[in-house]
Chain A
Amino acid sequence: MEIKVLEEKSKLYRRNILKYIYHAKAGHTGGSLSVIDILNVLYNRIMHVSPENFDSNLRDRYIQSKGHCVEALYVILADKGFFAEEDLLTLCKYNSPYIGHPTKKIRGIEQNTGGLGHGLSICCGNALVAKKDKSGVRVFTVLGDGEMAEGSNWEAFMFAAHYKLDNLCAILDYNKLQITAPNAEVMGLEPLNKKLEAFGWAVRQVDGNNIEALTQTLESLPFEQSKPSFVIAHTTKGKGISYMENVLKWHHGVPNAEQYEMALAELN
């Protein structure tokens, strides 16, 4: 898909994220809006995965480690045709399979996540097998910046470099905020590129809300032969809705009717 088309898609996706969160009266708004451009480029431009090849072992794999932002994933999967979009009207409702975190009950979702710091290790296992089998399968994950504090991630960083998993790409949705406060206050991450390079990863930085920049970066994978690739995607939490951008409470804030209308107006 062309950049222009993708940019239009991002607007549609943002509207849908808000729509279904508004309807469910629940959801992780800020982080879904920050990650959506990354998922857009991954699913519409980079990865070989679709409803048609989803039963093939040769599909690329995406595991969303920051599982709480499932709404972003749901709207993309619906757009890709994995399920009917209006199913999302049952989001978080009694007996609905569309719960507030990724579950394999939904076609298109690879793994159940929600506890932070699990996705990357699973990706490592996927990538190891893909490499051994020379299947050409690539493996992707998105991590949250707060999530980076989980020790398990750093165990996986070692593993991926040790096994030279250059078919693995981890993307950090670096929106600088978590629940309580900015990461810099809660648990500082910097200097992140140096840490990851020291762990044996090839690291690139990119504007994670810029479709063109993301496309260029992700189209140049792997960044180095025999090394796993890490994308530090600088994003804005709540991206696209002025009153949500960089405001802590929109981590899991749900807009009221008036705020919802304002948000839609901004996206038109």
Chain B
Amino acid sequence: MDYTINKANLEVFSETLQFLAEQDKDIYVITSDSRGSGKLVSYGQRFPEQIVEVGIAEQNLVGVATGIASMGKKAFAVSPACFLTARALEQIKNDVCYSDNPVKLIGISAGVSYGALGSTHHSLHDYAVLRAINNITIVAPADNYETEQAIRQAATMTSPVYIRFGKKNMPDSLSGASGNGKHDFKVGRGRIIQEGTDLTFIATGEAVLPCVQAAEVLANEHGINCTIVSMHTIKPLDNTLIMEIAANGKPIITVEEHSIYGGLGEAIGSLLLQNGFRNPFKIVGLPDDHTVSGSQVEIFEHYGISKKGLSDTVLTWIKK
């Protein structure tokens, strides 16, 4: 597959926001001592009137962002995903979602991006808790292209949205050329990265890349041709696409940087079961465990969210 590892989605987020803010004075960024971690220092220098600092106070961050959004501004509340979606959960539930204020919640350094800083800094619960809250779109872009599109589309959305990504360099665009038909990014529509006949990976966020790498091994060394879908929007889920894929009866494996409980995998499993599909089905994510310590890459490898881990999992599973 044709892609190059380019820059962190975090960088793309910041660049996109600056691009938007140049033309749109309604763009507001709200931070909780997270300006540096959010790569927003240059944004702050260029648009000092369009950034608000609340200090290390995530609940206040979401409350203030709500107030800014309800005055008609495009409020991007930016904080590490772990604190944003745990500390400020009630503000997200009541003030943003229930009260229908279109805040754009940006969870940075999501999943296990913070590595050895440990579980206080990991967000492996965010899809699960937010899926259970009505009136919020959940997006985890896989590459730079998806990130840019997600931020642009979020700016125009009139309902709440949560977008999360990490800080590791990611591919420019995983499906090669961007912007043609089914490879396009649209919030709420799965993006087909490649098509195959034997098995489908449905993954989200930074877990898509290892699927692409594993699929290469499976194709080249074992003749197993995989479809890969970047299911960047976890809610609302692209039910139509998933059921179209499942119609061939072939195995489906879901992969996510999230607890195996309550995330993308369970959402898809539930959809398939309730619609009569009985495809062989497997969920890969972080098990219900004290997460092993190490860097993001080491944690991914430990739990098999890697080229080798995923190709091995598929091979032992399919052979049975």
- Cβ–Cβ contact B36 & A180, under 8 A: yes
- Cβ–Cβ contact A151 & B60, under 8 A: yes
A31 at the interface (CB under 8 A from B): no
Pick the most buried of B82, B119, B293: most chain A CB atoms within 10 A of its CB: B293
A101 at the interface (CB under 8 A from B): yes
- Cβ–Cβ contact A94 & B293, under 8 A: yes
Q: Which of B51-59, B195-203, B252-260 faces chain A?
A: B51-59
Which B residue's beta carbon lies closest to that of A90?
B293
> Contacting A179 at CB < 8 Å: which of B36, B59, B118?
B36
Q: CA of A68 to CA of B87 in the docked complex: distance in angstroms?
A: 17
A178 at the interface (CB under 8 A from B): yes
For window 89-107 of A, CB contacts with B under 8 Å fall at: 92-97, 99-101, 103
- Cβ–Cβ contact B33 & A96, under 8 A: no
Mark A161-197 against chain B: 1 for CB-CB distance below 8 A, else 0: 0000000000000000011100101110000000000
Known: A93-B294, A94-B298. Contact between A101 and B53, CB under 8 A? Answer: no
For window 56-74 of B, CB contacts with A under 8 Å fall at: 56-57, 59-60
Known: A150-B56, A180-B53, A186-B55. Contact between A101 and B33, CB under 8 A? Answer: no
> Contacting B121 at CB < 8 Å: which of A95, A97, A114, A180?
A114
Mark B1-39 against chain A: 1 for CB-CB distance below 8 A, else 0: 000000000000000000000000000000101111100
Q: CA of A115 to CA of B119 in the docked complex: distance in angstroms?
A: 9
- Cβ–Cβ contact B36 & A97, under 8 A: no
Q: Which residues of B contact A103 (CB under 8 A)?
A: 118
Min distance, Cβ B302 to any Cβ of chain A, angstroms: 8
Q: CA of A93 to CA of B292 in the docked complex: distance in angstroms?
A: 10
- Cβ–Cβ contact A99 & B55, under 8 A: no
Min distance, Cβ A172 to any Cβ of chain B, angstroms: 14
Known: A115-B87, A149-B55, A149-B56. Contact between A179 and B33, CB under 8 A? Answer: yes
Total A-B residue contacts, Cβ distance less than 8 Å: 87
> Contacting A99 at CB < 8 Å: which of B33, B34, B57, B118?
B118
Which B residue's beta carbon lies closest to that of A113?
B120
Q: CA of A216 to CA of B120 in the docked complex: distance in angstroms?
A: 35
Which B residue's beta carbon lies closest to that of A101?
B118
Known: A99-B293, A186-B33. Contact between A115 and B57, CB under 8 A? Answer: no
B243 at the interface (CB under 8 A from A): no
Q: CA of A248 to CA of B117 in the docked complex: distance in angstroms?
A: 20
B116 at the interface (CB under 8 A from A): yes
Q: CA of A112 to CA of B117 in the docked complex: distance in angstroms?
A: 12
A108 at the interface (CB under 8 A from B): no
A117 at the interface (CB under 8 A from B): yes
Mark B290-301 against chain A: 1 for CB-CB distance below 8 A, else 0: 001111001000
- Cβ–Cβ contact B54 & A187, under 8 A: yes
- Cβ–Cβ contact A112 & B120, under 8 A: yes
- Cβ–Cβ contact B55 & A146, under 8 A: yes
Mark B184-215 against chain A: 1 for CB-CB distance below 8 A, else 0: 00000000000000000000000000000000
- Cβ–Cβ contact B117 & A180, under 8 A: no
Mark B232-247 against chain A: 1 for CB-CB distance below 8 A, else 0: 0000000000000000
Q: Which residues of A contact B302 (CB under 8 A)?
A: 94
Contacts from B to A (Cβ < 8 Å)? 31, 33-37, 53-57, 59-60, 82-83, 86-87, 115-121, 292-295, 298, 302
**Given contact pairs A95-B292, A101-B121, A180-B33, a sample of 19 additional A-B residue pairs in the complex whose CB atoms are under 8 Å apart:** A92-B293, A93-B116, A94-B298, A96-B116, A99-B116, A99-B293, A112-B118, A112-B119, A114-B120, A115-B82, A115-B86, A117-B56, A146-B55, A149-B33, A149-B55, A151-B59, A178-B33, A183-B55, A186-B53
